[in-house]
Structure 1
């Protein structure tokens, strides 16, 4: 590398590229344009960098260069590169040209990028009339042509700078997108905690049935890399219901070099796509998810006749789909060894009726391993506290570990944040599986049964701080001393006032 590349400068440059849209388009919409343009810029830089290297070595053999380019991770058609678009930025039709370039890239890489750009069009009236749209897109092309956004591998090296920049953008969009943010992003600290708790092994098949942008899945993949000397022997699977978010996950995987993945688009509950056969769900070593909280209209009307048998333990309420996701995940665990972690609202732990019966069945089958309470205001779009429910098919006994981590966080104005220390504390307590005063409790099955299968954390972890007893005799004695001091001070004050001529 010829220069030191700083992640913060690249992050600032890509965030600055949003300025062309601000005030014209809502952030929930323009995030797709910015992220797609970053994707286009990156693959263009990688392609051009490799082409230049091949030409330097084999300039006299263009046919050899063409063959070498075919071995790349992707193919970039000549007229579809960022630089071809940038060159024509002052001409009319920027939106149409960008759309054609994206479709050409998709066609050339159909196995990796099929349908990824179908929900994004730069030739949209959402950007204004033709003149305004053309002007906005010209500025965007110029923003991404800044020197800081030269993303050639020969400049940035092997560091995951582009992947980090993509995650930076997604996080910042989540912070400004209100309730919609929960649809595509789990805070990285929560993802890190979940990944460490499930601790995938080398060779693991890992699934997220509500994968959003794919960040939680990739955290699990990085756990394998960290544990096994950079090994990429794992496979990532996911499903996402929202088309634009599914495309986001596909691009995110691509930019992080996660080629061993399968991300499907569709409603996981109504139409699961990760199957072994037409009537058999695929099973996984590890399943993780942060599904939408208490989803209404989740598909109860079809649950009774579910051909996969996911609701044999009971059908969740029509207006609360939390247990629909939990039951789906349980059914996709590999027999005798699968494990899962799912983020749930606290109501899942104690609500009665149908949910209470499902919870009882899960406990009677000895599937629930631990319940971990999280701080409030961790998740984008909601301030309510949540919990992590851990399930294992290889439990050694029928106890359930309860951890109350709700007080361990770094406070923020809009979002609280888990710290490295708080994550480490939870992971250590989960591994030790022992009682910790005012923090963790290992409950027996009989204890939980006596509580009518209620898993509400305060029933098991007593965080009450005993107030110090007040010594009334000491308080009265101190009061008498203070009264005497006050009388003395008032007498002195009267004397001073008389000396100054104010006394009677």
Structure 2
């Protein structure tokens, strides 16, 4: 009998409900890693269980042959290490130790694919409480993931990206509740959509995010190549400094079917890992895109002047603000203008200070503009990003420009207001895209500035200097206002007379 197709909403609700095992006693910033890791283990276990049953049926229960075939599956699952092995013993003592042992076995059995992915997560940690409390919590988590709603076998999932979407759903909701640190691993989906579409990834492109967080921006770029060109000919590269977030990115890639990715763990500014020629040269990419940490303090200023890759030849950014450090790195990794169909291009989210701050940043900004690399400045609404209410901007750079102008777009006033976060709607995004493609001035929304105009503004890119959004106040018709005022005064006098009559009839007259 054919199994019923799984529904995205049902999976999302079920995995969110699984968090109940931790709520009230543990912060989401702590338990998110346990939930996301358990979802990954559950998924590969359900796939393994499904494939094993199918092969046993095909090969008449020839266990030895089936075991040999299972060893060549996408993920190898050692005996005793599947979710269902953990499920059988969930009510016994030692859940934390059993889960950690299973993760070690899974990591070892899958070689370089899952190397170090689980090293920063321990289910046997005191973070989960004393031994009794920890065991009860893990029992509840395993029980929740064992429910029918979370049967993630291929027969139920089909070809839909149910699991990857559920993972993104969890990451988004954890980000919403995790405060300021959320921005370190999550970019709102609408911003990722906008950035990816502005950069227009093509078949054959190499795409890099040097501050990739959970990898959502890279995944959006890859999805555009598949959706717009029916092609899987692209390569995704990334680097992430935080070990736990790097692990999230790796699992996120696998759950979205992006097995052929290159996500490195390390500090991009101080130790770039995406290199070639025995670490003597930075790799270059058709698309470079990121939402790096805003104004990062202690980014590596002291070592920048002697950087072996000469990334800061336009100037060394200030010690306490790493925005131009990320920009400088990204610019140096853009492919040349004659590479591929569109040449090297770059899109990055920055705080507005990047547009106008002077001193060292002003000097770097001046050189980037004079080199003809800056293509567009797009102002976004406030309260789009988790952990900060400040508005941000998107900068687009291109190696292959058709003019020496810069397009300014003020999209800051067009959004859907949310309770805690504002959202970009599909219409908001489409208006930005249409305006960017048209590359023309639009009243109170966009302005195509010449290099001379930018120079006259001392290379200040503050959007209001170029896009006039001033709305004249409506003229006040004083004669009509006076006429209305006299009418109201007359009506008030009549009411006062009427009120005095009522008071006299009730015996309150003077």
- Matched residue SS, 1:343: strand
How far residue 497 of structure 1 moved from its aligned partner, in angstroms, is 4.1
- Of 303-312 and 58-67, more deviation after overlay is shown by 58-67
How far residue 496 of structure 1 moved from its aligned partner, in angstroms, is 4.4
* Structure 1, unaligned runs of 5 or more: none
Kindly indicate whether the alpha-carbon contact (under 8 Å) linking 1:207 and 1:236 is maintained by their aligned counterparts in 2: yes
Paired position in structure 1 for 2:458: 452
- Give the TM-score normalised by structure 2: 0.96
CA deviations on 1:60-83 (whole Å, 9 max, x unpaired) are 433432333233211111111111
CA deviations on 1:162-188 (whole Å, 9 max, x unpaired) are 111111111111011001111110011
How has the CA–CA distance of structure 1 residues 497 and 218 changed in structure 2, closer, same or farther, with 3 Å as cutoff?
same
How has the CA–CA distance of structure 1 residues 469 and 154 changed in structure 2, closer, same or farther, with 3 Å as cutoff?
same
CA distance in 1, matches of 2:126, 2:476: 70
Paired position in structure 2 for 1:192: 193
CA distance in 2, matches of 1:491, 1:21: 69
Kindly indicate whether the alpha-carbon contact (under 8 Å) linking 1:234 and 1:260 is maintained by their aligned counterparts in 2: no
CA deviations on 1:442-476 (whole Å, 9 max, x unpaired) are 11111111000000011111111110112223322
CA distance in 2, matches of 1:281, 1:67: 41
- Matched residue SS, 1:79: coil
Give yes or no for the alignment of 1:223 onto 2:224: yes
CA distance in 2, matches of 1:208, 1:12: 30
Give yes or no for the alignment of 1:483 onto 2:489: yes
Kindly indicate whether the alpha-carbon contact (under 8 Å) linking 1:205 and 1:285 is maintained by their aligned counterparts in 2: yes
Kindly indicate whether the alpha-carbon contact (under 8 Å) linking 2:404 and 2:451 is maintained by their aligned counterparts in 1: yes
Kindly indicate whether the alpha-carbon contact (under 8 Å) linking 1:274 and 1:282 is maintained by their aligned counterparts in 2: yes
Paired position in structure 1 for 2:340: none
Kindly indicate whether the alpha-carbon contact (under 8 Å) linking 1:195 and 1:223 is maintained by their aligned counterparts in 2: yes
Paired position in structure 2 for 1:234: 234
CA deviations on 1:459-500 (whole Å, 9 max, x unpaired) are 111111110112223322332333233334433443444455
Paired position in structure 2 for 1:380: 386
Paired position in structure 1 for 2:138: 137
CA distance in 2, matches of 1:62, 1:494: 102
* Number of aligned residue pairs: 503
Paired position in structure 1 for 2:364: 358
CA distance in 2, matches of 1:60, 1:170: 40
Paired position in structure 2 for 1:172: 173
Give yes or no for the alignment of 1:412 onto 2:418: yes
CA distance in 2, matches of 1:398, 1:472: 49
Kindly indicate whether the alpha-carbon contact (under 8 Å) linking 2:284 and 2:333 is maintained by their aligned counterparts in 1: yes
CA deviations on 1:263-307 (whole Å, 9 max, x unpaired) are 000000000000022121000000110000000000000100011
CA distance in 1, matches of 2:444, 2:484: 34
CA deviations on 1:75-130 (whole Å, 9 max, x unpaired) are 11111111111112222221111111111111111121110010001111111222
CA distance in 2, matches of 1:39, 1:428: 39
* Structure 2, unaligned runs of 5 or more: 338-342
- Give the TM-score normalised by structure 1: 0.97
How has the CA–CA distance of structure 1 residues 85 and 485 changed in structure 2, closer, same or farther, with 3 Å as cutoff?
closer
CA distance in 2, matches of 1:113, 1:349: 40
- Matched residue SS, 1:78: coil
CA deviations on 1:362-390 (whole Å, 9 max, x unpaired) are 10001110011111111011111100011
- Matched residue SS, 1:387: strand
RMSD between aligned residues = 1.3
- Matched residue SS, 1:372: strand
Paired position in structure 2 for 1:79: 80
Kindly indicate whether the alpha-carbon contact (under 8 Å) linking 2:226 and 2:232 is maintained by their aligned counterparts in 1: yes
Paired position in structure 2 for 1:120: 121
Paired position in structure 2 for 1:50: 51
CA distance in 2, matches of 1:380, 1:483: 52
Give yes or no for the alignment of 1:474 onto 2:475: no
How far residue 242 of structure 1 moved from its aligned partner, in angstroms, is 0.2
Paired position in structure 2 for 1:88: 89
- Matched residue SS, 2:55: helix
Paired position in structure 2 for 1:67: 68
